[in-house]
Structure 1
Amino acid sequence: MSFPKGAARIVCLLPAVLMTGCATPGLLPQFNTPSVVAPVTVGQRDLMYMPIPPQPIPVAVYAFTDQTGQLKASDTGINYSRAITQGGTSVLISALNSAGNGNWFTVIERERLDNLLRERQIIREMRRQYLNEAETPAQVLPSLLFAGVTLEGGIISFDSAVKSGGIGARFLGIGASTQYRTSTATVYLRAVSVKTGEVLANVVTQKSISSYATSAGVFKYVKFDGLLEAEVGVAANEPSQIAVQAAIEKAVYALILEGAKPGPKQLWSFADAKAGQAWLDRYADDRRKSLAQVYEDNGGLPVSRSAK
């Protein structure tokens, strides 16, 4: 079968493109890959290198949950899976343990307190039955630690497709297109005094979640009765769990620096005041840039007094 001159070129080049795409690492999913330890994120790295306080601060986390109530979007029908992770408490505890390479906080288990108390009761009962102990010695089962600060909040918003769009072109049956979509996860974190119930510090962080799809195709009659049709494409989605983790890590980072600001409401300090001040200066600079961006996005109108 003979092809027109232009069509012959397409027929010759298209298999090469498809074969190259199939050979490109990451274009097709890989199977039977070994499990790995989760890589260190940028936010976790910042927490690990943060200057440490004079002594660790006992904190308790009861629950840090998904407060959006959103279900995962589906184009084929009802989907009862949640849009974002339900393990916010575990992510927050991991972030707290990363701060100062584990030297910032003494994290006290409270999410599964009922399990902890039940296990302690089993110990007391077994020792009473087999050792005839009326009271379990304190050195065997000391009292639980208590915290002066509890951390509250949650994942309060997940906005899908905040930005979406694409671009494409087609000429003589040959074309390509790219589409993108951006969603946003928002996290609130606050420190509360156990003695008074006062909210000592409060921070809000956001993280964008991006996805895109790129495709190219050919749909062309190469002869009166011969149709050439082929397409190739690739799509990538940023995991929502990684985005939520990044937002929570940033919230812990911001909470530490908000609480370390000099003033009447200072909550804690750095063991190395000079190193801590450098981090506070960088944080203040980031805040100024954020306010400048709000000013620009607001069309040059001044931001509110409270934002300043």
Structure 2
Amino acid sequence: MLLAMVALISGCATPVGKSPAEMFSEPPEVNSITRSGYTLANLPPPQNKLAVAVYDFPDLSGQRKPKENVAELSTAVTQGGSQILIDALLRAGMGSWFDVVERSGLANLLQERQIIRQQREAYQGAQAATLPALIYAGTILEGGIVSYDTNITTGGFGARLLGIGGNTEYRTDVVEVGLRLVSVQSGKIVRSVNTRKSILSVLLQGSVFKFIADEEILEAEAGITSNEPTNIAVREAIEAAVYALIVEGVIAGDFAFADPDEGAQVVAAYRAMRQRTIDAADIRSEGGYSPSGPM
């Protein structure tokens, strides 16, 4: 009877001609946005746009993908940090904050410009028009993914009564990124920020093991696992770092919003968020740790 019910439910739930993979798959997303990305995109415009260069944003954590009793060769975090950073910079304030110049593929860019120059000289001679000068950046953004820590917190809960029960388990990982703004003229590090993002994995399970007759046993299990994508967490951490770099630069007087009133609201919200972070750190330190050592 149980098998017949499962077959009936499966037949009704699955559309004709579609496999389970096709039924549960989702269409691709174009320019998907995160919570941090939404906040960054809605920043008020600045007084002056800033030209910045990004050469690289590497994975400095050195962590490999975790697995039972062995470390896989694949890395734990994305190796495309520079692409995520460039995308975040171009979205800041709906594209009003930064002009990002190409530097990671500079060799390809220079080679293509050389080809254009040679072709113009070949067909137009000495009178060939020259290419416009490349835009140079007054500042460089440096940094990287500085750490990836697994199993920061783990736990769970379960209960069973008369053969019916369930349990839940969870695990938290943490990824941290560092971002700094460097002046090209002086080489001075103008501003530096660090952001971290937790990565949550949750397992929910339920089961039934019960005698429904003298020689008949009902046994059923169900469960679901949810793992927050690591690359989304890295993206959110980088977007939060760009946001913090902008707002802290405004507070220090390096940048300025075009509308001082809108800027004041952004700065007030950022300071309130920072205060909540400090308060949370104070609460954690009361659990037995202080900068000077054990309490």
TM-score band w.r.t. shorter chain: 0.7 to 0.9
SS of corresponding position for 1:62: coil
Q: Which residue of 2 aligns with 1:85?
A: 78
Q: Which residue of 2 aligns with 1:296?
A: 283
Q: Is the 8 A contact 2:64 2:71 kept in 1?
A: no
Q: Is the 8 A contact 2:120 2:129 kept in 1?
A: no
Q: What per-residue deviation string (whole Å, max 9, x for no partner) do you get for residues 183-216 of structure 1?
A: 1110100000101111100111111111111111
SS of corresponding position for 1:209: strand
Q: Which residue of 2 aligns with 1:137?
A: 129
Q: How does 1:1-308 map to 2 (within 5 A)?
A: 19=9, 30-31=23-24, 33-75=26-68, 78-133=71-126, 137-138=129-130, 141-222=131-212, 226-262=216-252, 266-299=253-286
TM-score under structure 2 normalisation?
0.86
Q: Is the 8 A contact 1:295 1:303 kept in 2?
A: no
| Cα distance in 1 between the residues matched to 2:116 and 2:32 | 38
Alpha-carbon RMSD: 2.8
SS of corresponding position for 2:182: strand
Task: Specify the code of the residue in structure 2 equivalent to 1:60.
Answer: A
**1:172, distance to aligned residue in structure 2 (A):** 3.8
| Cα distance in 2 between the residues matched to 1:42 and 1:215 | 29
Task: Specify the code of the residue in structure 1 equivalent to 2:129.
Answer: P
SS of corresponding position for 2:276: helix
- Pair 1:152–1:126, CA change in 2 (3 A): same
| Cα distance in 2 between the residues matched to 1:274 and 1:228 | 66
SS of corresponding position for 2:251: coil
Task: Specify the code of the residue in structure 2 equivalent to 1:83.
Answer: A
Q: Which residue of 2 aligns with 1:5?
A: none
- Pair 1:61–1:255, CA change in 2 (3 A): same
**1:290, distance to aligned residue in structure 2 (A):** 1.3
**1:31, distance to aligned residue in structure 2 (A):** 4.8
| Cα distance in 2 between the residues matched to 1:98 and 1:37 | 14
- Pair 1:148–1:281, CA change in 2 (3 A): same
Size of the aligned set, in residue pairs, is 282
**1:293, distance to aligned residue in structure 2 (A):** 1.4
Q: Is the 8 A contact 1:218 1:230 kept in 2?
A: yes
| Cα distance in 1 between the residues matched to 2:208 and 2:226 | 22
| Cα distance in 1 between the residues matched to 2:191 and 2:88 | 17
| Cα distance in 1 between the residues matched to 2:89 and 2:243 | 9
Q: What per-residue deviation string (whole Å, max 9, x for no partner) do you get for residues 274-294 of structure 1?
A: 211111111112112211111
| Cα distance in 2 between the residues matched to 1:231 and 1:302 | 42
| Cα distance in 2 between the residues matched to 1:254 and 1:33 | 33
Q: Is the 8 A contact 1:295 1:301 kept in 2?
A: no
SS of corresponding position for 1:66: coil
- Pair 1:287–1:32, CA change in 2 (3 A): closer
Task: Specify the code of the residue in structure 2 equivalent to 1:63.
Answer: D
| Cα distance in 2 between the residues matched to 1:80 and 1:300 | 37
| Cα distance in 2 between the residues matched to 1:118 and 1:31 | 46
Task: Specify the code of the residue in structure 2 equivalent to 1:187.
Answer: V
